[in-house]
A and B are shown apart, each in its own frame.
Chain A
Amino acid sequence: MSFINYSAKEINCKIVYYGPGLCGKTTNLQFIYKKTRPEAKGKMVTLATETERTLFFDFLPIALGDIKGFKVRFHLYTVPGQIFYDASRKLILKGVDGIIFVADSQVDRMDANMESFDNMKLNLDEQGYNLDNIPYVIQYNKRDLPNVVPVAELNKVLNVNGVPEFEAAAFDGTGVFETLKSVVKLVLIELKKGA
């Protein structure tokens, strides 16, 4: 749920990166952190296991600029992708304004992608959300690897609603900001529509 603070003159929104384990959600946030000017970002909070798997969430607050004198801030969260952390994923989705579904493009991760996508739909449903009217985009990550599924194929399976989709290689930043910008726009358009 976005938070409009007239006292601090801020518009705050929450974006969640969702997707199967190891698809590159945390890597997206790390790249955004690295490339954002110090004055436009806050601390990145990472709650991870010893082996750098997300345990609860990653969190990165960023400021995007001003609209009519209001600072536009986005809070970026990642969920833990490993299947058994489902309870945590549900908690992170609370109050979400927009979602980036990160898919792992590798052939042998297709089942994991589909399972995670279905899991996202289910968890959204439980909170009274619906994929048909929540702003979301899809990122096909790890395009740099040799064994990737063609985008047309990925679209057929994962992009049933025809939302904006992006090819990415999060570890070198390819596509990372394009994906983020796209969902930010959708969220702001949705906010304006609801006003």
Chain B
Amino acid sequence: MPQSPFVMYDEEFKELTLIIEKLLREANSKCVYLVDKDGQLMSAVGETKDIDATSLASLTAGNIAATGGLAKVIGEKEFSILFHEGERDNIHISVVGQRVILVVIFDKRSSLGLVRLRVKKASEDLTKSIEKLLSRMQAGAAQENILKEITDDDIERLFH
């Protein structure tokens, strides 16, 4: 059975976005992304317009998946933090709430130490929000459900 869909409602999006906006400011970073482990972009803030967010999301998910595989090979659980240093920009990737990936891009206006510190703090808040979201999903709390409204005609029409 394919797993049931990962659903994010507007309130949840806003709650998560507020947290990463705060992180963006406090870490002096350029931009912050929240990506689910399957590579879907959940939210993005900061100077994001020159970055292809969809590629970024799928590659960070691939990166986390690959290092997760590596961890298993050497008998570790997971590398929950990855850091890549560039000439101009650096990228800090971490897993929060086991389900979501937090990506922070920063340059020399900030530092790895500061980013680490702020990410740690933000992760606590994000974990709470994500756990809430996941338990809401598990309970299957009846809210609006677009999937129920899809008709066979809708599906047919997609291809015309």
Residue of B nearest to A195 (CB): B147
Residue of A nearest to B42 (CB): A5
Report the separation of the CA atoms of residues A130 and B7 in the bound assembly, to the nearest whole angstrom.
23
Indicate if the CB atoms of A91 and B145 lie closer than 8 Å: no
Q: Which of B55-63, B89-97, B108-116, B122-130 contacts A (4 or more CB under 8 A)?
A: B55-63
Task: Give A contacts to B, CB under 8 Å.
Answer: 1-8, 11-12, 14, 42-43, 45, 47, 56-57, 59, 61, 64-65, 67-68, 70, 72, 75, 87-88, 90-91, 94-98, 129-130, 133-135, 181, 184-185, 188-192, 194-195
Indicate if the CB atoms of A91 and B62 lie closer than 8 Å: yes
Indicate if the CB atoms of A3 and B4 lie closer than 8 Å: no
List residues 1-51 of chain B with CB under 8 A from any CB of chain A. 1-10, 12-14, 36-40, 42
Task: Give B contacts to A, CB under 8 Å.
Answer: 1-10, 12-14, 36-40, 42, 52, 54-55, 58-59, 62, 65-66, 68-69, 144-150, 152, 154-155, 157-159
Residue of B nearest to A66 (CB): B158
Cβ-defined partner of A59 (8 Å) among B58, B69, B149, B154: B58
In the assembled complex, which residues on chain B have CB atoms less than 8 Å from the CB atom of A7? 8-10, 12-14
Report the separation of the CA atoms of residues A61 and B54 in the bound assembly, to the nearest whole angstrom.
8
In the assembled complex, which residues on chain A have CB atoms less than 8 Å from the CB atom of B65? 91, 94
Cβ-defined partner of B55 (8 Å) among A3, A43, A88: A43
In the assembled complex, which residues on chain A have CB atoms less than 8 Å from the CB atom of B69? 87-88, 90-91
The answer to whether residues A68 and B150 also contact, given A2-B5, A56-B62, A57-B62 and a CB cut-off of 8 A, is yes
Indicate if the CB atoms of A67 and B154 lie closer than 8 Å: yes
Residue of B nearest to A72 (CB): B158
In the assembled complex, which residues on chain A have CB atoms less than 8 Å from the CB atom of B159? 64, 181
Indicate if the CB atoms of A191 and B62 lie closer than 8 Å: no
